Structure 1
Amino acid sequence: MRIDKFLKVSRIIKRRTIANEACDAGRVLINDKVIKASAEVKVGDIVEVLFGGKSVKVEVLSLKETTKKDEAQELFKYL
């Protein structure tokens, strides 16, 4: 699954276009590597998103095309 779609489906970032822009600006890392929005994310990857002065680091637990709001937290675990 593409990283921009994963960020939207897991609700780490609210909209896919914003996730896409964050990737283009170099604020999204997978396993400590800056990536593009089209990069593939796999189960077990460590994703870090830089929001201004703070960062959110999560581990991918599962991948789904769509989720309900209540189930979105099950896709990742905060580190």
Structure 2
Amino acid sequence: MRIDKYLWCIRYFKTRSIATEACKKGHIRVNGESVKASKTVFNNDKITLRKDQINYQIEVLDIPANRVGAKLVDLYRKDTTPAEVFEKLELLKYSKDYYRKKGAGRPTKKDRREIDDYTEDDEI
């Protein structure tokens, strides 16, 4: 089975075209090599896939005949992604909460006071 179809079947991507695009961008590696979407996947292949700033590590257990339900995905793959990767993602989410988006306008009074408090602490 093709790598893009396999990743679609085990629900890592919503459509095959998104999986194909990820292959073209080099976000998918099989056994350490960057691959095209047409690469054939076999049992015991190790797939590294970058999605949403996480490097997922998957081991192929079996090849599905077609797209499977979410409850059956674990029959076809073994997820060996370390837990630290998900912890880093949580920290990244918290760090993004404190930044203002570009073009959000001038700071409010509350924002200005927080900025002043922050800068006053640095000067002392």
SS at match of 1:64: coil
Q: Which structure 1 residue ranges, 4+ long, deviate > 6 Å from structure 2?
A: none
Instruction: Tell me the residue number matched to 1:55.
Output: 55
CA RMSD of aligned residues (A): 1.1
Quote the Cα distance in structure 1 between the aligned partners of 2:79 and 2:57: 6
Quick one: which amino acid aligns to residue 71 of structure 2? D
What is the correspondence of 1:40-79 to structure 2 with a 5 Å cutoff?
A: 40-66=40-66, 67-79=68-80
Quick one: which amino acid aligns to residue 50 of structure 2? L
Structure number with the higher strand fraction is 1
Pick which of 8-17 and 26-35 moved more: 8-17
Pick which of 11-20 and 69-78 moved more: 69-78
Determine which structure has more spread, i.e. the larger CA radius of gyration: 2
Structure number with the higher helix fraction is 2
User: Residues 6-65 of structure 1: CA distance to partner in whole angstroms, max 9, x if unpaired?
Assistant: 000001122111000000111100000000000000000000111253210100000012
Quote the Cα distance in structure 1 between the aligned partners of 2:65 and 2:15: 15
> Which runs of 5 or more structure 2 residues have no equivalent in the other structure?
81-124
Give me the TM-score of the superposition, normalised by structure 2.
Answer: 0.60
> Which runs of 5 or more structure 1 residues have no equivalent in the other structure?
none
Higher RCO, Cα 8 Å, sep 6+: 1
Instruction: Tell me the residue number matched to 1:23.
Output: 23
Give me the TM-score of the superposition, normalised by structure 1.
Answer: 0.92
Instruction: Tell me the residue number matched to 2:3.
Output: 3
Quick one: which amino acid aligns to residue 42 of structure 1? F
In the comparison of the two structures, how many residue pairs are matched? 79
